[in-house]
Amino acid sequence: MQITIGENTLELLIGDITKQATDAIVNAANGSLMGGGGVDGAIHKAAGQELLQACRRLRKEQLNEEPLGTGEAVITPGFKLPASYVIHTVGPIWNTHNPIQDIQLADCYQNSFKLAKEYKLTSISFPSISTGVYRFPIERAAKIAMRTITNYLQTVDFGQVRMVLFSETDFTVYKSALRNIICSSS
């Protein structure tokens, strides 16, 4: 599914984020930036050992050995990936008692866009942030992601945004969220 928003293109697809040849791919990272499971592990594996080394340097030089905070984003080269850069962002771990987790999830997308603009990138691929091992409900995450991305694209000439989804089920949820946003803004 592909739509045009201003001068921008938003595409939803089922695929492997490590195969995307956009300027950047977004890594749903953990705060340590040392790799992990799911999307994070797949990106680290595909990018090669240099990505882990770059993340270690970044933690030491930019983060004073502290973990990256929820909703924040940092950037590294893509190394062996088709994408030139990897933007690492830490999504919220689902918790029914966290009143700001929706804001934190939106921040993941907004701060990734902020870095992309800072680096003059014109294409980016996002995964479904926080919906794997972090257990954020996918319907809720899809609404937040699609609203945040479409709002951004309505205000900025960016280029191409891909939402790369893992399964047909995830694709269907995101497609429905996007259609609801389109219909409610018409």
Number of compact structural domains in the chain: 1
| pLDDT for residue 37 is more than 90 | no
153 within a domain of the structure (yes/no): yes
Element (H, E) at 29: strand 24-29
66 within a domain of the structure (yes/no): yes
Q: Categorize the per-residue pLDDT at 50 as very low, low, confident or very high, splitting at 50, 70 and 90.
A: very high
Residues serving a catalytic function are 40
Q: Categorize the per-residue pLDDT at 66 as very low, low, confident or very high, splitting at 50, 70 and 90.
A: very high
pLDDT, average across residues 118-139 = 96
pTM higher than the cut 0.85: yes
E strands present in 112-172: 123-126, 160-165
94 within a domain of the structure (yes/no): yes
Model pLDDT for residues 129-142, shown as the tens digit of each residue: 999 989 999 999 99
Residues 6+ apart with CB under 8 A from 49: none
| pLDDT for residue 186 is more than 70 | no
Model pLDDT for residues 153-179, shown as the tens digit of each residue: 999 999 999 999 999 999 999 999 999
7 within a domain of the structure (yes/no): no
| pLDDT for residue 11 is more than 70 | yes
DSSP designation for 137? -
The mean of the pLDDT values for the chain is 96
180 within a domain of the structure (yes/no): no
Tokens 């595409």 found at: 11
For residue 109, give the CATH number of its domain.
Answer: 3.40.220.10
- Helix/strand/coil percentages in the chain, nearest 5: 45, 20, 35
| pLDDT for residue 58 is more than 70 | yes
75 within a domain of the structure (yes/no): yes
**What's residue 98's pLDDT?**
87
56 within a domain of the structure (yes/no): yes
**What's residue 185's pLDDT?**
72
Percent of the chain with pLDDT over 90: 92
| pLDDT for residue 36 is more than 70 | yes
Domain span at 91:
29-161
